Structure 1
Amino acid sequence: MIAYDVLILGSGLAGQSLALRLADKLKVALVTKRSLEDSASAWAQGGIASVLDPSDSAEAHIADTHTAGAGLCSDKTTRFVVENGPRAIRWLIDHGVPFTPDASSPVGYHLTREGGHSARRIIHAADATGAAVQATLTEQVRAHPNIAVYEQHIAVDLIIGRKIGHADEGCLGAYILDIASDEVRTFSARHTVLATGGAGKVYLYTTNPDTATGDGVAMAWRAGCRVANMEFIQFHPTCLYHPQAKSFLISEAVRGEGGLLRRPDGSRFMPEHDAREELAPRDIVARAIDFEMKKHGLDCVFLDISHKPAELLESHFPNILARCLELGIDITQQPIPVVPAVHFSCGGIVTDLRARTDVAGLHAIGETACTGLHGANRLASNSLLECLVFGEAAAADILANPRELAASLPQWDESRVTDADESIVISHNWEELRRFMWDYVGIVRTNKRLQRAQHRIRLLAREINEFYSNFRVSNDLIELRNLVVTADLIVRSALQRKESRGLHFSRDYPQTLPKARDTVLRPRR
């Protein structure tokens, strides 16, 4: 048994910032499926939204968040995050994150504007903010003597006292597979934190890394936690459309700096869909693109910023410029082919303002949690802010509430399983799941499509659970098992919502109900 004060599953901004906040006082294990650098946080381009300019206000940021969230954001949570945002940004600056400077700005840093924001409040590091933040923190995480990093490790499941007859009924740690050795190890912890990110890989097209397989939500659900608002899957409007470009995002900031969406004939279409045009919230822009593509039989639409000075594009979007040039697209002269792709899960594990879940000793932070901040649609650049603020909240709660360490835990039992005889089953099921989720649970939904998806999910779940019961676990099998649970929760939530709101648009229920309600699912204990 391997024992720590705190076990953190996930190495994005939420997990790493929490580890650094705790490590001066506690022994921390940071577990990640690949390397520390592999996370959705590292892929974030635009920046972090926070009220830094004196001409801006917390009330304006709160109002913008509520507007984007289509009436479903928790006012208490939104205010908590926005008001704690400036301190979180200062923490990053103090840790050496190289945000883009601007001598003419009252805050000394360049602030950009993105869709849904009423002011320039996005602090950024050129067009690779996530990479800059992650690189800075990763160096410090690796150097800290109290943080043990376990790369190439994936959690199989949480260890819940109630399920093993332990006096402490809460979370006692996790079973974790060492991918390199195929050995499942028992990790005991006073506190366990899920910071596993989103579930984009449940869909065929996504801007997420391959690690985004809904692990945290699935493990928490099996442990007895409520999940909420899983139907709200954000499709980023502008993912690069090119056969050689996998999951490459064209930042929201391109539209924030004047980029225009055009049909292949060069005509604009956003003015026909929303008064805010290209700066409308993501759900509106994604639906508009989806409508245009279906109406005109298009493979993609085009995002054009070639009318802006080349110097501006070189200074603000160097990575986008370079990547597009590699593919033969000069964005200073040509429009960029784009399509919508799954980007963010607004729902997740129900947590409070201290990042606590329904299970004692178990916290959840980042995209895997449903804090109430995002409502029915996340406002651009609020996600990294949420990671930071709730990482700090979780750290304060963990430090204030010490728990006993389990003296002993049952080891992982492989005595009744064998090596898998047909691993091809896993890859086939994965492909089938991702394709029908894209076809039936996409940007526009109907009851019939959702019911078809649910029927297929139930068939797959039976097959995968049988496979899990009879064969040794592998990284692919663990991820597939979690994806099927997550897909089921998304479809169940979508079927419960009898309206269209934010990211959930149903042809059967096109109206928005007068009262906004969360979709909360409760597992059977």
Structure 2
Amino acid sequence: MTTPNLDPSDLGACSGPLMPVRSPNVKVPTMQATPHRHDVLILGSGAAGLSLALRLHDDLSVAVISKRELREGSTLYAQGGISAVLDATDSIESHVQDTLKAGAGLCDRRVVRHIVERGPDNIRWLLDQGVEFTRDEASASTGGYHLTREGGHTHRRVIHAADATGRAVATTLEAQVRGKPNTTLFEQHIAVDLITSKHRPGKTNHRCLGAYILDLGTGQVEVHLARFVVLATGGANKVYLYTSNPDVSTGDGIAMAWRAGCRVANMEFMQFHPTCLYHPEARSFLITEALRGEGARLLLPDGERFMPRFDPRAELAPRDIVARAIDHEMKRLGTACVYLDISHRPADFVIEHFPTIHQRCLELGIDITTDPIPVVPAAHYTCGGVMVDERARTDLPGLYASGETAYTGLHGANRMASNSLLECLVYSELAAEDIARLMNDIPEPPEVQPWDESRVTEPDEEVVVTHNWDELRRFMWDYVGIVRTNKRLRRAKRRADLLQQEVIEYYSRFRVSNDLIELRNLLEVADLIIQSALRRRESRGLHYTLDFPDKDATQRTPTILIPDSYRPRHGD
């Protein structure tokens, strides 16, 4: 769902779109003649989805579903980099301990170590694909690559491509995937729901068989069958009014997996990036944490530096602490933003290391070599998600999840900077290994029921979708944001329940559209966030509530939500 520019007095800053722009005269779909068949169906085309496609055997038939253009997703906009132990003075143990500390006691120690240990090999894999990371020939201990430091890290271990690492990764992987003859790319397609054995007449083993996919060009819902399905659809931060994420981050994979009977975990831990550019013409433009890693300071409008009052690590404290500090100061002073200042560093250094930010800010009249940058917090990363095991498998046989869609146990109550791209690379590698192990044992899926539109019509009042989209994102920001209370959460739950009922009724009567699918998924995810937040009766990591402001040592377990249709998994 995309929108035109809105009045900055209405939005404040760093807002995602609120109202949809629709294509007129949507075509009436026709019945699909035969289903598409694949060995592996990948839903999502960020680093998680594309790296998986590249790692699968060339003799497999692979399909990648992308809601927009192939590269359009959160990976493209990631600025900072990828954390990995690449410096001879660093260590696996240090990276593990930093991650555990940032996760506030909720990380799975075994998972953290497994991911960190695979980090260097995954960076070498990206180099082999052609990703050009920033070099520093003077740094012999790092193999000639420049490493930066971000919040929560005690060493320089973030490898990057200037300040546009995500773009370098996304465009490189895209070019490689487009050259693979065994991979079919379906751009401008969106998944409606997963197909499971319940869609097949008669009794059969419970399994994922594929997905119903809406072709946004024709308006037709198609059947895509596959022996293995992978959710790599990204996070759900578009559930909030202000977000650093692109329009496609609507929690589709999490919502579909939940409806299919998979457990989700830790959905209360939604990370707000502390520094999103505050400017009416720069919607969702992120100011990377690497600026703070290179010495940038957070200032109040009068020039006072305030982070040392909140944490001894100051600007290099984990993101939850920095975001809450900014939120506190903005509310205390009634100011619209705070400022991030790196102008004390040499101008040549700033321009060399942060060319994208420098150029974009110049376009808006801000010279970051001489002026502070106005910034506000914005919803940035979904730390929870669909529960997966050490092979990236969900509760539903045949269904995997990787990247921001998945809950692996790495992030705990707070994601440490630049661990996310590392996680999606590792778990896509694990999924590829498991699929290769099982491929010869899994038969092709049987025929299933086609998508039934015999009892639906064209929408008569699409204002239901646009109004509910707007209301959802506003109450989630106001009631389920950086600081929460039980009263606010219960109020949000009542609103979410009412909107869900309206959308369920609308969904059952009218043909699906991109906007309706995304709204349905966002409402599902909003409810999961609210339920999880109500269950955690303490403040820990990204979940901060005024009713329980202290950490409770007895609550050091994930918040796991179990759907009514959940079936415990028994092997493959």
- Shorter-chain TM-score above 0.5: yes
Distance 1:23 1:176 in 2: 24
CA-CA distance at 1:157 after TM superposition: 0.2
Query: 1:23–1:144: 8 Å Cα contact kept in structure 2?
Result: no
Name structure 2 gaps, 5 residues minimum: 1-34, 566-572
Instruction: Please list, as runs of the form range in 1=range in 2, the aligned pairs for 1:39-58 lying within 5 A after superposition.
Output: 39-58=73-92
Instruction: Please list, as runs of the form range in 1=range in 2, the aligned pairs for 1:48-197 lying within 5 A after superposition.
Output: 48-105=82-139, 106=141, 107-164=143-200, 165-197=202-234
- After superposition, give the CA deviation of every residue in 1:305-339 in whole Å (9 maximum; x if it has no partner): 00000111111000000000000000001000000
* Mapped pair 1:355 → 2:392: yes
Distance 2:223 2:469 in 1: 27
Identify the residue that residue 321 of structure 2 maps to in structure 1. 284
SS at match of 1:426: helix
In the alignment, which of 475, 494, 506 is matched to residue 533 of structure 2? 494
Distance 1:110 1:412 in 2: 51
Query: 2:199–2:449: 8 Å Cα contact kept in structure 1?
Result: no
Instruction: Please list, as runs of the form range in 1=range in 2, the aligned pairs for 1:400-479 lying within 5 A after superposition.
Output: 400-402=437-439, 403-479=442-518
Identify the residue that residue 237 of structure 2 maps to in structure 1. 200
Supply the AA of the counterpart residue of 2:160: H
Distance 2:130 2:205 in 1: 41
Identify the residue that residue 13 of structure 1 maps to in structure 2. 47
Q: Which runs of 4+ in 1 moved over 4 A?
A: none
Distance 1:294 1:473 in 2: 41
Distance 1:502 1:257 in 2: 24
Distance 1:512 1:343 in 2: 23
Query: 1:446–1:508: 8 Å Cα contact kept in structure 2?
Result: yes
Distance 1:98 1:24 in 2: 25
SS at match of 1:338: strand
Distance 1:409 1:163, change over 3 A: closer
CA-CA distance at 1:162 after TM superposition: 3.4
In the alignment, which of 518, 521, 525 is matched to residue 558 of structure 2? 518
Distance 1:333 1:458, change over 3 A: same
SS at match of 2:321: helix
Supply the AA of the counterpart residue of 1:190: R
Query: 2:150–2:290: 8 Å Cα contact kept in structure 1?
Result: yes
- After superposition, give the CA deviation of every residue in 1:130-175 in whole Å (9 maximum; x if it has no partner): 0001111101111110010000000000001035445231000000
Distance 1:220 1:269, change over 3 A: same
- After superposition, give the CA deviation of every residue in 1:360-401 in whole Å (9 maximum; x if it has no partner): 000000000000000000000000000100010000001101
TM-score (norm 1): 0.99
CA-CA distance at 1:499 after TM superposition: 0.4
Supply the AA of the counterpart residue of 1:149: L
Supply the AA of the counterpart residue of 1:45: Q
CA-CA distance at 1:59 after TM superposition: 0.4
Distance 1:41 1:495 in 2: 31
Query: 1:203–1:342: 8 Å Cα contact kept in structure 2?
Result: yes
Supply the AA of the counterpart residue of 1:242: H
Query: 1:225–1:357: 8 Å Cα contact kept in structure 2?
Result: yes
CA-CA distance at 1:24 after TM superposition: 1.4
Distance 1:218 1:393 in 2: 23
Higher mean C-alpha displacement, 492-501 vs 396-405: 396-405
CA-CA distance at 1:407 after TM superposition: 2.8
- After superposition, give the CA deviation of every residue in 1:62-118 in whole Å (9 maximum; x if it has no partner): 000011100100001100100001011000001110000110112110000001100
In the alignment, which of 19, 35, 42 is matched to residue 69 of structure 2? 35
* Mapped pair 1:332 → 2:334: no
- After superposition, give the CA deviation of every residue in 1:337-375 in whole Å (9 maximum; x if it has no partner): 000000000000000110000000000000000000000
- After superposition, give the CA deviation of every residue in 1:198-240 in whole Å (9 maximum; x if it has no partner): 0011000000000000000000000000000000000000000
Query: 1:162–1:168: 8 Å Cα contact kept in structure 2?
Result: no
Supply the AA of the counterpart residue of 1:299: A
SS at match of 2:465: helix
Identify the residue that residue 15 of structure 2 maps to in structure 1. none
Distance 1:290 1:252 in 2: 17
Higher mean C-alpha displacement, 154-163 vs 460-469: 154-163
Distance 1:397 1:297 in 2: 53
Identify the residue that residue 275 of structure 1 maps to in structure 2. 312
Query: 1:231–1:347: 8 Å Cα contact kept in structure 2?
Result: yes
SS at match of 1:311: helix
Distance 1:131 1:263 in 2: 32
Distance 1:342 1:302, change over 3 A: same
In the alignment, which of 504, 508, 520 is matched to residue 543 of structure 2? 504
Distance 1:99 1:23 in 2: 27
- After superposition, give the CA deviation of every residue in 1:288-308 in whole Å (9 maximum; x if it has no partner): 000000001110000000000
Query: 1:31–1:149: 8 Å Cα contact kept in structure 2?
Result: yes
Supply the AA of the counterpart residue of 1:271: P
Supply the AA of the counterpart residue of 1:416: R
CA-CA distance at 1:519 after TM superposition: 0.2
TM-score (norm 2): 0.91
Percent of aligned pairs with the same amino acid: 64
SS at match of 1:524: coil
Distance 1:180 1:162 in 2: 29
Supply the AA of the counterpart residue of 2:563: P
CA-CA distance at 1:514 after TM superposition: 1.1
CA-CA distance at 1:425 after TM superposition: 1.2
SS at match of 1:303: strand
In the alignment, which of 462, 471, 482 is matched to residue 521 of structure 2? 482
Distance 1:497 1:407 in 2: 42
Distance 1:75 1:407 in 2: 40
Query: 1:234–1:343: 8 Å Cα contact kept in structure 2?
Result: yes
Identify the residue that residue 344 of structure 1 maps to in structure 2. 381
| Cα root mean square deviation, aligned | 0.7
Aligned residues: 525
Query: 2:57–2:436: 8 Å Cα contact kept in structure 1?
Result: no
SS at match of 2:531: helix
Query: 1:153–1:177: 8 Å Cα contact kept in structure 2?
Result: yes
Supply the AA of the counterpart residue of 2:189: H
Query: 2:188–2:215: 8 Å Cα contact kept in structure 1?
Result: yes
Supply the AA of the counterpart residue of 1:479: E
Distance 2:102 2:416 in 1: 6
SS at match of 1:494: helix
Query: 1:345–1:367: 8 Å Cα contact kept in structure 2?
Result: yes
Query: 2:199–2:448: 8 Å Cα contact kept in structure 1?
Result: no
Distance 2:463 2:63 in 1: 33
